[in-house]
Amino acid sequence: MKKFAPYLAFAKKSFLGRSAYRFDHFMGIFDTILRIFIFWEIYRALYGGRSEVDGITLTMVTTNFILSMGLDAVFFVDDYYLPSRIQSGSIATELLLPVSIHGRMLANNMGNALFQLIFHFVPTVAVSVLVIGIAAPAEPLALLLFLLSALLGYGVLWTISFVAQMFSFWLINIWSIVTIKNSLIKVLSGSMIPIWFMPDWMQEVIHFTPFSSIYFMPVQIYLGQLSLSDILSSFLIQLFWIAVLFSFGMLLWKKGQKKLVVQGG
């Protein structure tokens, strides 16, 4: 347990750090709720009073974007943790610390994510449920499996960010890579446009990428759209992408360290 004590301390520090910016926190909640209501009105207009389109009910769509946007607020990743330290030169000091820099990156993000879960996700979803309403979990077990899938979804999202940050060894600014990454996640994860409404060929393509593993898989489990065997397969897919992306990121990390030159003193 002592081995993980430093990382727990880093996570606690980032958790407490978020609580210091209360106005920013409240504005974040307002922003998420506002986007949920905008999407709700858009889909209500698109459905035009119909209860369902091609077997997809308005309640299913509403549940999808409420949970996806709520999880998006929870899934905090700092895409500039490593780049900022490489640019400032503080990466040299970090590498000398008796803790893994990757573990510290994850601990900082997890501390922020826990804060977002308690003080952002819960009130946002509560307001959405009271005003808009969402579908109940298909069954009690579905809720538990949804939470497990969401945790793995965060792992997929974090490892994608981990890979993107590794390019900071070769690029002065990774803003363009981060922007492309975030755009792909918004569109292909099903949070903005439910994958149900995408063409069949595009759905097939998306299922061969890690993006649907972030939000859409957990929502499908919540709605009871997957059988138990399909759920187990989805967990394996999420674990597969976490392993592949992290391994690729570590490969870039090892190659990047050979190119690292820190100036100043």
Domain spans, the chain? 2-259
CB atoms within 10 A of CB 27: 11
Q: Which tokens hold the place of 259?
A: 């190119």
Q: For the chain, how many residues are written?
A: 265
Q: DSSP character for 165?
A: H
Q: Which tokens hold the place of 79?
A: 């895409």
Tell me, what's the pLDDT at 152? 97
| pLDDT reading at 264 higher than 60 | no
pLDDT digits (tens, 9 = 90+) for 32-64: 999 999 999 999 998 988 888 888 999 999 999
Q: What is the mean pLDDT of the chain?
A: 91
pLDDT digits (tens, 9 = 90+) for 176-195: 999 999 999 998 998 888 89
| pLDDT reading at 263 higher than 70 | no
